[in-house]
Amino acid sequence: MALVPNPVNDGPVFAEVDMGGDSSSPTVRATVVQAATVFYDTPATLGSLHFSCPPLYLFLCENCLLFAINHLMHMEALFDKAERLLAEAASYGSQLVVFPEAFVGGYPRGSNFGATIGNRTAKGKEEFRKYHAAAIDVPGPEVVRLAAMAGKYKVHLVMGVIERDGYTLYCTVLFFDSQGHYLGKHRKIMPTALERIIWGFGDGSTIPVFETQIGKIGAAICWENRMPLLRTAMYAKGIEIYCAPTADARDLWQASMTHIALEGGCFVLSANQFCRRKDYPAPPDYVFSGTEEDLAPDSVVCAGGSVIISPSGTVLAGPNYEGEALISADLDLGEIARAKFDFDVVGHYSRPEVLSLTVMDQPTSPVTFTSASANAEVAKR
């Protein structure tokens, strides 16, 4: 802040302080990606694919070989698309790029995996096998590749993936810094509705907020953004750039995003896919249950609505419902302090003697062994 000197004659006792013209608060250019994934992609090398029948002396049955080749082609298509979008965002000067929920691995919109109460069909089980094969291990080769992309284009990267942990899948967000380092992950703690038959539940150990060169970054996925206690935990960690990858394209989603920006005094970056029916496999390999007969190849099945909102509730960019797009805005980080002056939900506007929250943030495991070596093996899963 600049000091205004006192006049020589009859001036005020104290110097006035110029409260304007402060250029010290940094600005971050951020982009949310609104694009469709390549569905049933397998982000793995040929040697690490999960085959339906085991290889014998490195020979594969014809079906497994065709399956492997097909998935490798999809993997290359997906990562080529992700890198192209990342490169384009970087060319606009973006320092942070946020991708949608389940961009790697796919969001199985419209599928019921053959599940009804008391029954699972053989076709649904095969659909899950394919979906499991399309997921990625964390850590794993795909994580290394994403880290290399972040480092190559010198951007902080937030990527929605389907994580494979043994035979359980998680809807996960991965974080990378602009030097190409993998920072960590957030697993969705509460899948919504039928998502619960295909995804596991994250625990309190993966609710991170990472301090980076461009601010404190974290994420909540889709409808877990509607969980007040989860949001409060993230506010308590000092989140400044709140990423909200989603699959919800309804108008009501915008109200939630605006509320979070105001409540948390943070920037909110929501990234959703824009998908048409033709972005998914054709029937009978993939069926949108209950609506397939009404869909043409160009029918929109997810309309996007990606948006960037400031801590004051101002929409900086978006929402976009027109098609695939890169939605960018410059984030003036000084807006955070200005918003917190009004309302700091875990600071001066809190009443801990009346209302408080305890977060169980230790990793949980269904099995604990008495030997350290056995527990180490469990931790590797």
Q: Is 109 helix (H, G, I), strand (E, B) or coil?
A: coil
Q: Is residue 101 annotated as a catalytic residue, yes or no?
A: yes
Residue 79 backbone zone (phi > 0: left; psi -120 to 50: alpha; other: beta): alpha
Measured CA to CA, the distance from residue 299 to residue 370 in angstroms comes to: 55
Please report which residue ranges of the chain form alpha helices under DSSP H.
62-91, 122-134, 141-153, 228-236, 252-264, 334-342, 372-380
Measured CA to CA, the distance from residue 367 to residue 381 in angstroms comes to: 12
80-103 burial, b at 16+ Cβ within 10 Å, e below that, comes to ebbbebbeebbeeebbbbbbbbbb
Measured CA to CA, the distance from residue 150 to residue 97 in angstroms comes to: 9
Measured CA to CA, the distance from residue 343 to residue 360 in angstroms comes to: 26
9: number of Cβ within 10 Å: 5
- Do residues 331 and 29 touch, judged by C-beta distance below 8 A? yes
> Which residue shows structure tokens 């909110």?
268
For helices 122-134 and 62-91, what crossing angle results, to 10°? Answer: 50
List 16, 83, 88, 101, catalytic entry = 101
Determine how β-strand 27-34 pairs with β-strand 96-98: parallel
Measured CA to CA, the distance from residue 243 to residue 250 in angstroms comes to: 18
Residue 323 backbone zone (phi > 0: left; psi -120 to 50: alpha; other: beta): left
Q: Tell me the catalytic residues.
A: 101
